Amino acid sequence: MIRFLFAFFCLFGIAGPGNALQRDPVDYVNTLQGTNSDFTLTRGNTYPTVALPFAMHTWSAQTGENGSGWKYQYACDSIRGFQQAHQCSSWTNDYYVYSLMPVAGELRVDQYGRAAKFSHKAETGRPYLYSVDFDNGIRAEVAPVERGAHLRFRFPKGERAYVVLDGYTGMSGVAIDPSGRRITGYVSNGDIARRLGSKCWFVVEFDAPIRAFGTWDNTSGATVAGRLADDGKGKGAYVEFAPGATVSVKTASSYISAAQAEQNLASELGFHKHFEQTRDAARKIWNDHLSRILVEDDDEELIATFYSCFFRASIFSRKYYELDAAGNPYYRSPNDNEIHTGYYYTDTGFWDTFRAQFPLSCILHPTMQGRYMQAMLACKREYGWLPSWSFPNEAGSMIGNHAISLFADAWAKGIRTFDPAEALAAYYEEATEDGPSGPASGRKGWKEYFTLGYIPYPDMREATAKTLEYAYDDWCAYELARRTGNDYYRTIFGRQMYNYRNVFDPARGFMRGRLRNGSWVEPFDPTEWGGPFTEGCAWHYLWSVFHDPAGLSALLGGDEAFAAKMDSVFTISSDFKVGTYGSVIHEMAEMKMADMGQYAHGNQPIQHMVYLYNHAGRPWKAQQRAREVMTRLYSWSEDGYPGDEDQGQTSSWYVLSALGLYSVCPGTDQYVMGSPLFRRATVTMEDGRKFVIKAEGNSREAVYIDGATLNGEPLSRTYLTYDEIVAGGELCLQMSVRPNTGRGTRVQDRPYSVSLVADTE
Ligand code: CA
């Protein structure tokens, strides 16, 4: 009877009192979320990005020195420029940066002299607008377009007014056209420029008469008044306007050519006469984008955190293509520096983002995801290898051959814009060759992996982490081959996908480093970081069996032992040993700060772990822990993340989790259930269909799922399929303060594990 009444309420949409949003979704976003970071401790390593969704360029205020990865730090009190930015993380520098800075009174061009003091009280960080009132009386505003920005500088009355353009850390060229009120030029900085000698061409257009001008050199600080053009290392320009002027500045840039930069300016900003038009257009684009997930609740704090994270989940990967005069996409490849037709995307590390960023995109942006598949194969043709860590060319960072995860995941979800045989052949090369320098392309240790069944340590660094991630990648290839009837690759990779078993030590109950002769690396301490692991320890890597949690459970001794091991993660001390890192790295400090035992949500390896309670037949524990992580480790503030945000991954974890879902095993079509954060969430698909997640009686205490229906039918499973979500419909959950230990516990209720289904094919 209770179940019947519950279904009745769901059917007629009695969702509880007063849940409509008090503001538009975009105005909940705080782009300063996660900016309070430094080398030793990260609360996100983000910067106050002004950009359109997945746009080619973003813009940011710059507090750090030219070339510093910490381009904006909340603790700083002065800004030295507003720059075109592409950075994925503070741990990398940027590429193709140039900056603009308003200067009042005396002309100061260099990055120290021109820096202006500000306070956060006089600062606004929204996706469509960054604005700041400097202590010196200048107001600066930035609004985004896809390949440029519209800025506005208001100078204090009566004071001389300058705008300084800084050519940043590499070669640059400037040409001033005083009567045209323009500066054109290029910058050539970042790893891509060093490697290819490539350029980013820019156009800067002012709406006020230029009274005086000159060039300058940021290596010497010298200025040359009246000079129209210069070219060389760190060359820049300055222009002067009438005292007390308000100057609007339109700027756009191109990786293809100076002419294309003009085209980008004309097509994206040409019809915007006033700054407000650009700002308001960007606001509408973002509000429409963020309204794709409309949440209803009365917890304003959680709503602000949700939309701030959703914003961060909507920046990476970036478009790397431009549109020709006819509107067709083309790009200058970061791989071979040649012009190609089609779509291209970059600025993401799959080690981070295969986990949740792309599975979220599959739901919200399947068209873009389909284009992304083609771009990965284009990378293979241009570079020789599938992408792994793109910034914008292959950066060779981290481990794994995770491009196959994206292919398998897209195919499983019906995004079939690519030839699966081509993807599998590319992956086969990846898995059976050493690859070029750097650990990410190819598979160093592949012979040992195929013959011994694991990568030996210390012969190869990070050997056990690699064995685990390669075994998952091989399952992805197996699964893509299985789904596409490709018996050749299915046989090859089906043999390797259980290799995770070869680095499990049953005596100690952990994945461990293993010597070439088969014995375990001694001494062993599960809290010791590095060595055979990557940015983590044995407590974090035990769970990296995405495709076979049931197999992992069997290794550990069954459901009870599996769940008890997960419990221990939270109950043991968060003490750690620095291991081969030699000193404390920020991920260790963040685990300690989180104070959840060995649960290190500030880094990727363990981020899926709480959802594995579903695979152990204890879904209520997944529900409780997922909610605890959401409410304890995230906020909308400058301290908003428990570690590096990492190209949308840590945000996408939150967005999916807030819907009560998570992508434990990309490559399946499943989203595993947790505990939704809001009383009601409506996801609107690209084609307009709506999927509603109702959580009756939800609160910060009522985090447990007591009962569930999907489209009116009782649901005992602890996962949904992609098709169930994108078809539209309604998931209705009855929330409770007490766990329901009888729901979702049967083996047939549990999410995917390959060892449960492989013998039934
Ligand atoms: Ca990380």
pLDDT digits (tens, 9 = 90+) for 81-121: 999 999 998 888 899 999 999 999 999 999 999 999 999 99
Q: Is the pLDDT of residue 217 over 90?
A: yes
- 396, 441 Cβ separation under 8 angstroms: yes
Give distance in angstroms: CA of 644 to centre of ligand 1. 5
Give distance in angstroms: CA of 215 to centre of ligand 1. 41
Interval 665-686 mean pLDDT: 98
Give distance in angstroms: CA of 89 to centre of ligand 1. 9
Give distance in angstroms: CA of 308 to centre of ligand 1. 19
Give distance in angstroms: CA of 678 to centre of ligand 1. 27
Give distance in angstroms: CA of 206 to centre of ligand 1. 40
Give distance in angstroms: CA of 604 to centre of ligand 1. 5
Q: Is the pLDDT of residue 430 over 90?
A: yes
Give distance in angstroms: CA of 188 to centre of ligand 1. 28
pLDDT value of position 478: 98
Give distance in angstroms: CA of 461 to centre of ligand 1. 18
Interval 599-609 mean pLDDT: 97
Give distance in angstroms: CA of 45 to centre of ligand 1. 10
Give distance in angstroms: CA of 44 to centre of ligand 1. 10
Domains in the chain, please, with CATH?
Answer: 46-290 (2.70.98.10), 347-760 (3.30.2080.10)
Interval 253-268 mean pLDDT: 98
Give distance in angstroms: CA of 326 to centre of ligand 1. 40
Give distance in angstroms: CA of 73 to centre of ligand 1. 18
Q: Is the pLDDT of residue 5 over 80?
A: no
Reported as half-sphere exposure (CB side, CA atoms, 13 A), residue 426 has a value of: 29
pLDDT value of position 12: 41
Give distance in angstroms: CA of 200 to centre of ligand 1. 29
| C-alpha R_g of the chain | 26
Give distance in angstroms: CA of 683 to centre of ligand 1. 28
Give distance in angstroms: CA of 49 to centre of ligand 1. 19
pLDDT value of position 92: 86
Interval 388-405 mean pLDDT: 94
Q: Is the pLDDT of residue 11 over 50?
A: no
12 class by beta-carbon count within 10 Å (0-12 exposed, 13-18 middle, 19+ buried): exposed
Give distance in angstroms: CA of 394 to centre of ligand 1. 18
User: Distances in Å between the alpha carbon of 183 and those of 86, 141, 218, 229, 484?
Assistant: 22, 19, 17, 9, 54
Give distance in angstroms: CA of 649 to centre of ligand 1. 9
Give distance in angstroms: CA of 267 to centre of ligand 1. 37
pLDDT value of position 515: 98
Give distance in angstroms: CA of 39 to centre of ligand 1. 13
Give distance in angstroms: CA of 546 to centre of ligand 1. 18
Interval 204-214 mean pLDDT: 98
pLDDT value of position 436: 85
Nearest 5°: CA angle at 248, between 247 and 250?
A: 140
Give distance in angstroms: CA of 605 to centre of ligand 1. 8
Give distance in angstroms: CA of 643 to centre of ligand 1. 7
pLDDT value of position 18: 46
| Residue pLDDT, tens place only, 145-167 | 999 999 999 999 999 999 999 99
- 303, 654 Cβ separation under 8 angstroms: no
Give distance in angstroms: CA of 653 to centre of ligand 1. 13
Give distance in angstroms: CA of 96 to centre of ligand 1. 24
pLDDT value of position 437: 72
**Residue 754 — very low, low, confident or very high, per pLDDT cuts 50/70/90?**
very high
Give distance in angstroms: CA of 398 to centre of ligand 1. 10
Percent of residues, the chain, with pLDDT higher than 90: 94
| DSSP labels, 51-84 | --TT-S-EEEEE-SPTT-S----TT--EE-EEEE
Give distance in angstroms: CA of 199 to centre of ligand 1. 30
Give distance in angstroms: CA of 603 to centre of ligand 1. 4
SS3 assignment, position 376: helix
- Measured CA to CA, the distance from residue 470 to residue 248 in angstroms comes to 52
As a whole number, the mean pLDDT across the chain is 95
Give distance in angstroms: CA of 584 to centre of ligand 1. 15
Give distance in angstroms: CA of 452 to centre of ligand 1. 29
Interval 252-268 mean pLDDT: 98
Give distance in angstroms: CA of 48 to centre of ligand 1. 19
Give distance in angstroms: CA of 346 to centre of ligand 1. 18
Interval 60-68 mean pLDDT: 97
pLDDT value of position 467: 98
Give distance in angstroms: CA of 636 to centre of ligand 1. 19
Give distance in angstroms: CA of 631 to centre of ligand 1. 20
**Residue 759 — very low, low, confident or very high, per pLDDT cuts 50/70/90?**
low
Give distance in angstroms: CA of 647 to centre of ligand 1. 9
pLDDT value of position 440: 76
Give distance in angstroms: CA of 374 to centre of ligand 1. 26
Give distance in angstroms: CA of 481 to centre of ligand 1. 30
Give distance in angstroms: CA of 652 to centre of ligand 1. 13
Give distance in angstroms: CA of 553 to centre of ligand 1. 26
Q: For residue 316, which amino acid is it? A: F
Give distance in angstroms: CA of 509 to centre of ligand 1. 25
Residue tagged 């985004």 (tokens): 144
Give distance in angstroms: CA of 527 to centre of ligand 1. 18
Q: Which residues lie at CB < 5 A from ion ligand 1? A: 603, 644, 646
Q: Across the strands, what pairs with 198?
A: none
Give distance in angstroms: CA of 646 to centre of ligand 1. 6
- Measured CA to CA, the distance from residue 47 to residue 700 in angstroms comes to 30
**Residue 38 — very low, low, confident or very high, per pLDDT cuts 50/70/90?**
very high
**Residue 752 — very low, low, confident or very high, per pLDDT cuts 50/70/90?**
very high
- 670, 664 Cβ separation under 8 angstroms: yes
Which sign does the torsion angle of CA 438, 442, 446, 449 carry? positive
- Measured CA to CA, the distance from residue 557 to residue 509 in angstroms comes to 9
- 273, 281 Cβ separation under 8 angstroms: no
Give distance in angstroms: CA of 80 to centre of ligand 1. 28
Give distance in angstroms: CA of 6 to centre of ligand 1. 41
* Three-class secondary structure assignment of 148-162: EEEEEEECCCCCCEE
- 356, 659 Cβ separation under 8 angstroms: no
Interval 373-385 mean pLDDT: 97
pLDDT value of position 19: 64
Nearest 5°: CA angle at 520, between 516 and 526?
A: 135
Interval 192-219 mean pLDDT: 98
- Measured CA to CA, the distance from residue 392 to residue 232 in angstroms comes to 23
DSSP 8-state secondary structure symbol assigned to residue 520 = B
Give distance in angstroms: CA of 68 to centre of ligand 1. 19
Give distance in angstroms: CA of 673 to centre of ligand 1. 24
- 682, 730 Cβ separation under 8 angstroms: no
**Residue 345 — very low, low, confident or very high, per pLDDT cuts 50/70/90?**
very high
Give distance in angstroms: CA of 363 to centre of ligand 1. 24
Give distance in angstroms: CA of 380 to centre of ligand 1. 25
Interval 536-563 mean pLDDT: 98
pLDDT value of position 6: 44
Give distance in angstroms: CA of 453 to centre of ligand 1. 27
Give distance in angstroms: CA of 38 to centre of ligand 1. 14
Interval 701-711 mean pLDDT: 98
